[in-house]
Structure 1
């Protein structure tokens, strides 16, 4: 699995598992552990500590469910990606140059998606 920027390897794996679930379903440590055990040997306490750390960092919310917690991401995968893009844009030098280099590297389908998103945002802004 590719590492998700801003997360360690196990954190990225856990976030990916949570993001891949139905929007509000979340998961307990045991549910995530059971999935991970099909791919690697890992201890319950390791998964629990990592999920607790993600909660402490503000990436996950949790609520009691019996004796366990059910964890849910505070942002969608797309919201997280948008945040990373904004950080790259604001910290990468001149915004216009960063955007120009970005647009030059995307393929035709991604370019069409970008144009469509900009049109939708322009229409929304026009309605205000």
Structure 2
């Protein structure tokens, strides 16, 4: 998804070529993954000539929110405390202050 978000509109071939720079991934695997993401509504698929082009249907922020919401609901039984605790341990003092300031803004 990072490649698609960066490019905006792309093809399976473009994504495959970029993935080859970091390691081998079969073309058919990339194609199947992108088709699955299009079926799930994460990518928009447009046919142009003989090839499909893809563009993001959701932003990276929206996808992150959806994933975190699913983890909280389905794995943590609705409690966000374990995730918040983990994030506070991972981040430095400055980010903890920033998180607390964001919380204040959301509450007002």
Asked whether the two chains share a fold, i.e. TM above 0.5, the reply is: yes
What is aligned with 2:3?
17
What is aligned with 1:118?
103
What is aligned with 2:61?
78
Q: 2: distance between equivalents of 1:95 and 1:29?
A: 38
Deviations 1:52-98 (A, max 9, x none): 12212222111223322221222222222222222233341463744
2:99 corresponds to 1:105:
no
Question: What RMSD in Å do the two structures reach over aligned CA positions?
Answer: 2.7
Q: In the superposition, relative to structure 1, how do residues 46 and 113 fare at CA in structure 2: closer, same or farther (>3 Å)?
A: same
Structure 1 stretches of at least 4 aligned residues deviating more than 4 Å after TM superposition? none
Tell me the TM-score normalized by structure 2: 0.71
Gaps of 5+ in 2: none
Residue from 16, 21, 29 that aligns with 1:46: 29
**Length, aligned pairs only:** 106
Q: In the superposition, relative to structure 1, how do residues 109 and 68 fare at CA in structure 2: closer, same or farther (>3 Å)?
A: farther
Gaps of 5+ in 1: 1-14, 124-128
Q: 1:120 offset after TM fit, Å?
A: 3.5
